[in-house]
Structure 1
């Protein structure tokens, strides 16, 4: 009665014990409990990755787009509605789904039990969301105002920055604890990223799509700047994970 979850044997257990239990082991094998705990931790971790990735992206969009519109008016909207829709549905969608089925961390069964009252918005989730927003928003705003005199150029840079950062930062979130190099490989995430890069590369070749998004083909120099800034965000997230888990009990060792 004092246990958080009562377990009864399905084969040898009595009817009374089965009715009182929260879980019934149909095979009477205690190893099944271990597998169930591992799967539960795995699913819970992936929900946190999914939420961290999407909430960070959406909050950043709201702050950047909303801030510019409130300060300067709707005619200076950094992204047109079609571009916003594309980023939210296409660019964010597949990587987020892939993170939902990411492989488990190697130390998932070496961690101490989690408090059942703990919010899913745990310390690492809150910190990584906040850090992502604080790093990305100034970068987006700086890039936008650098090209403010040419709205099409400014929107082009902002659009491709959102696309690139959303795709490469998904690689960061394969694990909220392990570093980029230590996290388990995830082929489905890599396929999702490759698909999205290929899709946007094809779509922007059509003038009608560029007109709908309010963008133009990016210059090579602009692409270089966007890639450099994008990888700067990735490095910042890696440093944050290293600091978060440097002294955390039961955490995987994270290399910066």
Structure 2
């Protein structure tokens, strides 16, 4: 064995060392993706509740307690787990070595988390305000759907914070795709089936409302893709 300053090498084959460094970088990035995803989603939940209290203090709460619990258990946890096994980016070994004291939020991580959290919270409130034109129950349902589905769409933004999701491969993470499809189907069932209506205090939505829900939810991808394009252009 050959001993280095900080590690013991059982195999001095250079290709093995390179592969070990690549694996280490991939694991670190996936941990970072999961953490940034969870924080930005939780910030979106907080913003939607807090802004509603400030802007609409005399109306029903944006989300009921059981809906908040559902979001935290279902639409937060599974995408974060899928991001934990995300395939490595093709240019991971072209990146500069990371400083050992570097924060998880370095290189714009804080800004990414805050801006996406604020955006998710804002579109949730837009859906809530639209639903109020019909009833408080519909307002809560639309806010619940947009908050949940926007988080599922947002998981794809974490595939890469610098490259377009279409460049890194939209379908390369099969677990994320399966999580998205399963959770989306579950959210539709939660909204449309009577048993879930009773448990989660939701009401069925019409096609126009569903169009607004999916349009607002998917906008979190478009806004991130636009920011990546502008950053690359500069």
Output the TM-score relative to the length of structure 2.
Answer: 0.89
Residue matched to 2:50 = 66
**Unaligned residue ranges in structure 2 (runs of 5+):** none
| Residue equivalent to 2:127 | 143
CA contact (8 A) 1:68 1:76 kept: no
Q: Which aligned pairs between 1:90-239 and structure 2 lie closer than 5 A?
A: 90-148=74-132, 150-184=135-169, 185-239=172-226
Q: Which has the higher helix share?
A: 2
Rate the CA distance shift 1:228–1:199 in 2: closer, same or farther, 3 A. Answer: closer
How far, CA to CA, are the matches of 1:245 and 1:116 in structure 2?
A: 27
What's the CA shift string for 1:69-116, capped at 9, x where partnerless? 466559721111111111111112111110111001110001121222
Contact 2:127 2:143 in 1 (8 A): yes
* Separation in structure 1 between the aligned mates of residue 89 and residue 186 of structure 2, nearest angstrom: 30
Kindly tell me: are residues 52 and 241 of structure 1, through their superposed partners in 2, closer, same or farther at Cα, counting changes over 3 Å?
farther
**Per-residue deviation, 1:167:** 1.1
Q: Is the 8 A contact 1:48 1:125 kept in 2?
A: no
> What residue is the counterpart of 1:4 in the other structure?
none
Does the 8 Å contact 1:87/1:163 carry over to 2? Answer: yes
Summarize the Cα distance change of 1:75–1:208 in structure 2 as closer, same or farther, 3 Å threshold: farther
Could you list the per-position Cα deviations for residues 116-148 of structure 1 after superposition, in whole angstroms to 9, with x for gaps in the alignment? Answer: 221111133222212212323322222222333
User: Partners in 2 of 1:138 and 1:70 — Cα distance?
Assistant: 13
- Does 2:9 correspond to 1:25? yes
Q: Distance in 2 between matches of 1:232 and 1:98?
A: 21
5+ long unaligned stretches in structure 1 = 1-9, 248-256
User: Within 2, Cα distance between the matches of 1:179 and 1:226?
Assistant: 24
Separation of aligned partners in 2, 1:144 and 1:72: 11
RMSD value over aligned CA atoms? 2.1
Q: CA deviation at 1:203?
A: 3.8
* 1:7-46 superposed matches below 5 A: 10=1, 13=2, 18=3, 21-46=5-30
- Which SS does the other structure have where 1:181 is aligned? helix
The structure-2 alpha-carbon separation of the partners of 1:202 and 1:135, relative to structure 1 and needing over 3 Å to count, comes to: closer
Q: CA deviation at 1:224?
A: 0.7
In structure 2, the residue matched to 1:53 is: 37
Structure 1 residue matching 2:101: 3-state secondary structure: coil
Using the size of structure 1 for normalisation, the TM-score is 0.82
Conserved? CA contact 1:56–1:129, under 8 Å? yes
Which deviations, in whole Å up to 9, do the C-alpha atoms of 1:161-190 show, x marking residues without a partner? 112111112122111221020113211100
